[in-house]
Copies of this chain bind each other. A is one copy, B any other.
Amino acid sequence: MDKLKVNIGNLELKNPVMTASGTFGYGVEYSDFIDLSKLGGIFVKGTTLHARQGNAYPRMAETPAGMLNAVGLQNKGVDYFVSHIYPELKDIDTNIIVNVSGSTIEDYAECAARLTDLDKIPAIELNISCPNVKEGGMAFGTSVCSAAEVVKAVRSVYNKTLIVKLSPNVTDITEIAKAVEAEGADAVSLINTLLGMSIDINKRKPVLSTITGGLSGPCVKPVAIRMVWQTYNAIKIPIIGMGGISSWQDAIEFILAGSSAIQIGTYNFIDPTISEKVLIGIQQYMEKYKVTHISDLVGQI
């Protein structure tokens, strides 16, 4: 199975199929449905320095081939993660990567720092693209300066693999990607959710308590593929692609667009076994076309 091995910085993935933050809980919620050790990695819930209650209900709206969410980073804070959740996860035989969020640069750095010593957390994903929080979040990911600043601060306190998750809500994603690369990120992941909105025409009110929310699911795939391709042509560090993957064909599309590995998000809700199916499909595609190593497909269009 070496033909599926992928390296992202110092992070070694047994295969490129991973699951996206905020859609996969802490992984264990899926253990009834799939064998977690088959995955290349699990990106766990968005984690912040302090506990957050998240946004008010309603937090979700269904949209054509997708959904909006406004969860707002509900989590119990990094210390709770370290003391209570990490012990439950550390024996899962795959990479567990923590998605780190914050409202200030100091929060990001402090949160990252507290994760450094966890043996079985080989990497973090810096979420500078969450559209669902009032301060920080997406604001960091939509300006070159602040994206660079937050990555710089975290890089100085975190020496394992640092993945930076980019926002698609920008005019030119390659500028942000380049800035982040320049500050020492080991990889970028994209896309986070597109900012969207939905209105209940009978109540004449926004469906979400926060008015706007993050759009995900198959509907965003063409935008995500485009951004991966643009970014692939702009930077040298690896890209972890995501946005609307619902089949192995979609995963191959992301890889051909320039992703070294992929994450599956929303579609886990519809089919909690999708990640296993995607992995099998990728293997069959590689056999059919006699691809000797998955890296031979990355960006090859």
Binding site for B on A (CB under 8 A): 61, 63-66, 68, 142-143, 169-171, 194-199, 201, 204-206, 211-212, 215, 217-223, 225-226, 229, 244, 249, 252-253, 256-257, 285, 300-301
Question: Contacts of A225 on B, CB cut-off 8 Å?
Answer: 196-199
Which single residue of chain B is at the shortest CB-CB distance from A217?
Answer: B64
Q: Which residue of B lies closest to A205 (CB)?
A: B301
Known: A195-B226, A199-B256, A199-B301. 10 other contacts (CB 8 A): A64-B65, A64-B218, A65-B219, A68-B222, A169-B171, A171-B171, A196-B226, A197-B229, A198-B253, A204-B300
A219 cross-chain contacts in B, Cβ below 8 A: 64-66, 218-220, 222
Q: Is the CB–CB distance between A301 and B223 below 8 Å?
A: no
A257 touching B197, Cβ below 8 Å: yes
Within the assembled complex, what's the spacing in Å between the Cα atoms of A196 and B230? 11
Q: Which of B205, B223, B301 contacts A215 (CB 8 A)?
A: B223
Copies of this chain held together in the complex: 2
Are B142 and A222 interface neighbours, CB within 8 A?
A: no
Q: How far is the CA of A219 from the CA of B201 in the complex (A)?
A: 19
Q: List, in ascending order, chain B residues with CB within 8 A of A194's CB.
A: 222-223
On whether the beta carbons of A222 and B196 are closer than 8 Å, the reply is yes
On chain B, the residues within 8 Å of A252 by CB distance are 201
Give the CA-CA distance A142 to B171 in the complex, in Å.
7
Specify which of A170, A201, A253, A257 lies most central, judged by the most chain B CB atoms within 10 Å of its CB: A201
Bound together, the chains give a CA A198 to CA B220 distance in angstroms of 11
CB closest residue in chain B, given A211? B229
A169 to chain B, nearest CB (A): 6
Question: Bound state CA distance, A108 and B225, in angstroms?
Answer: 32
Decide: A223 near B196, CB < 8 A? Known: A169-B171, A171-B170, A300-B204: yes
A197 touches B226 (CB 8 A): yes
Given A64-B219, A219-B219, A226-B212, A256 and B201 contact (CB-CB distance below 8 Å): yes
